Amino acid sequence: MLTQPPERNGKWRSLNPLVHLHTLILFTWTDYQTIVIPITIFACATAPIQSLSKLIQGCVWIWFHLILCNVSNQVRAKEEDSINRPWRPLPSGRVAFQKTLVFRWIMVILCVIWSAIYGFDIVVTTLGLIITTIFYDEGQVSRHPFGRNLCNVGRYIAFQFGATTIMNRLDRTSMAAILLSGVMILTTIQAQDFPDVDGDIASNRITFPIYTPELSRVFTFFIIPLWSFILCWFWEVGWLTGFTHITFSIYVGARYYFRRTPGADTNATAYSELNIALGNELPTSRFF
């Protein structure tokens, strides 16, 4: 876990840019493995990178839009975060609630302006991400298991589309990869909810693991390896790559079913995120 910069006084904290950078990192810390790294790998794998500059621009675009989504979500999840992630800026008292509300809408404006630099398609992508976030948070869709998954899929696809368009160029392979990824995320994203059951219950949020504890484990056990098989078949990977990927996915699914403690679920989720990242690399097989 990141450690906080030394506390000196209020003036020092307000003027030191490292303190503000640290706060932004804390807002997004849990999503580097789930959003930033997998989507960067996805964009690189589905089409050749045009330049290092485009790669950096795409990564920064992902991070800024992630800040937008996470600040909005965490403003309304303080009780849950006080149990699951007490180190986040709001439950830890690092930032004030009212300032966070204002910052959320500042990020909306900044992201729209920034996306306008890259053209109409990216602006529409940003607006779609904003609308989905509003439905998720203000509309309280996050409290319904299926609606929550749909919103998360919409946001994930928006991140993939925006990052891939900025870093590379969209072609049929990229679009096929985005659609496949969207359906895969829709059917596997409940795996990320297993470690957060206690916090979700405290905030009256209903997730798949809470709604059907046993069925959600059985479903996750089978769906993760099934998707690895589908992706390996679709991208026509070699037998060694396919065997390795499918074997690892079976191991990940089995961990969710046979190990049911919060700590084990946290570890299984880390393995699941790695499995998704590896699946995002499979389209590179067409370049070799």
Q: What is the chain's mean pLDDT, rounded?
A: 86
pLDDT at 13 over 70: no
pLDDT at 255 over 60: yes
The pLDDT, as a whole number, for residue 7 is 42
pLDDT in tens, 171-228: 888 888 899 988 998 899 889 889 888 877 877 778 889 888 999 999 999 999 999 9
Of 10-14, 84-88, 174-178, 221-225, give the range with the top mean pLDDT. Answer: 221-225
Across 93-97, average pLDDT: 86
**Residue 257 pLDDT class (50, 70, 90 cuts):** very high
pLDDT in tens, 130-144: 999 998 888 878 777
The contacts of residue 126 (CB under 8 Å, 6+ apart) are 65, 111, 112, 115, 158, 162
Q: Which CATH number fits domain 17-287: 1.10.600, 1.10.287, 3.30.450, 1.10.3470?
A: 1.10.600
The pLDDT, as a whole number, for residue 30 is 85
Delimit the domains of the chain by residue range. Answer: 17-287
**Residue 115 pLDDT class (50, 70, 90 cuts):** very high
- How many Cβ atoms sit within 10 Å of the Cβ of residue 262? 13
Q: What is the pTM of this model?
A: 0.82
pLDDT in tens, 144-178: 777 888 888 899 999 999 999 998 878 888 888 89
Across 50-65, average pLDDT: 92
pLDDT at 9 over 60: no
pLDDT at 2 over 70: no
pLDDT in tens, 25-43: 889 998 887 888 888 888 8
